[in-house]
Amino acid sequence: MKYKVEIRLRPGIKDNESIAILRAANTMTDLGENQIISLSMGKWFELEVEDDYDIERICKLLLSNSVIENYNIIKIE
């Protein structure tokens, strides 16, 4: 079984890296000044596991920081 796990910051958690990229991009004439309305980042993992594997458990215990991040599990196969 294959899964994709998307990790994003929880609403209300400040994303300093995205803020810095957005500000820089919107000041560069090569990128079209003030053309980007919003920007956010995240990370993702692809896992291939046995059919009975507890994907939820690895997300909670290892892949995400439950204090500041949410995760979304997408079944690929």
Q: List the domains of the chain with CATH numbers.
A: 2-75 (3.30.1280.10)
| pLDDT tops 90 at residue 74 | yes
What is the chain's percent helix, strand, coil content, to nearest 5? 30, 30, 45
d(CA 20, CA 24): 6
**pLDDT at residue 8, as a whole number:** 97
**pLDDT at residue 19, as a whole number:** 95
Tens digit of each residue's pLDDT (9 = 90 or more) over 5-57: 999 999 999 999 999 999 999 999 998 889 999 999 999 999 999 999 999 99
Burial of 23 (0-12, 13-18, 19+ CB in 10 A): exposed
Amino acid at 7: I
Q: pTM to 2 decimals?
A: 0.83
**pLDDT at residue 10, as a whole number:** 96
**pLDDT at residue 77, as a whole number:** 75
